Amino acid sequence: MSKVPITKAGAEMLRQELHRLKTVDRPNVVAAIAEARAHGDLSENAEYAAARERQSFIEGRIQEIEGKLGNAQIIDPQLLDADGRCVFGATVDLEDVESGDKVTYHEHMYEALPGADALFVVTEWNEFRNPDFDKMKSLMKSAVIFDGRNLYNPSTLGPLGYKYYRIGAPGVP
């Protein structure tokens, strides 16, 4: 299998996510499955089905991260000869010279959150499917999510203190 280029910071973030998935998320979903089983008939138990689906995602994400880390080629962007070009791992600042509007592109999703008034989810990349919501909330100015991909469960985010808006979800005005 070919090597997967990743920055040192990117590899560390994957290690942290893997640790959280194995030590927090996996035990929580096992407990949720056990609790749902205690309610009886599994054929009509939505909590059980949701917990099993979550477990499947967690196990898949664990395998994906372990595969990436196992095939990782750690790259330090500062050591690359960029010769004035945008290269792997760079943070890019763009400015509209006429309006002065600025936008910054970051390598990792958490780097874009400090001081953010809200998060707009417009991608379905796996990195965004199972974020550390506590970490996100600690970085953001306001715990508000507009989810254009309907990746998250509203019943999960409410108790965490988020204002959550699903965009385009069936049955949502």
Taking 50 as the pLDDT cut, the residues of the chain under it are: none
pLDDT of residue 1: 63
Instruction: Determine the Cα–Cα distance for residues 162 and 160; give it in Å rounded to an integer.
Output: 6
Please say whether the beta carbons of 25 and 91 come within 8 A: no
**3-state percent breakdown (helix, strand, coil) of the chain, nearest 5:** 50, 15, 35
Fold of 4-75: Helix Hairpins (1.10.287)
Sequence-distant (≥ 6) Cβ neighbours of residue 145 within 8 angstroms = 118, 119, 120, 121, 152, 157, 162, 163, 164, 165
The reported pTM is: 0.62
- For the chain, the structural domain boundaries read 4-75, 108-166
Instruction: State the pLDDT at residue 27.
Output: 96
pLDDT at 41: 74
Residue 47 is predicted with a pLDDT of 83
Q: CA torsion sign, 33 to 38 to 43 to 46?
A: negative
Q: What is the pLDDT of residue 15?
A: 93
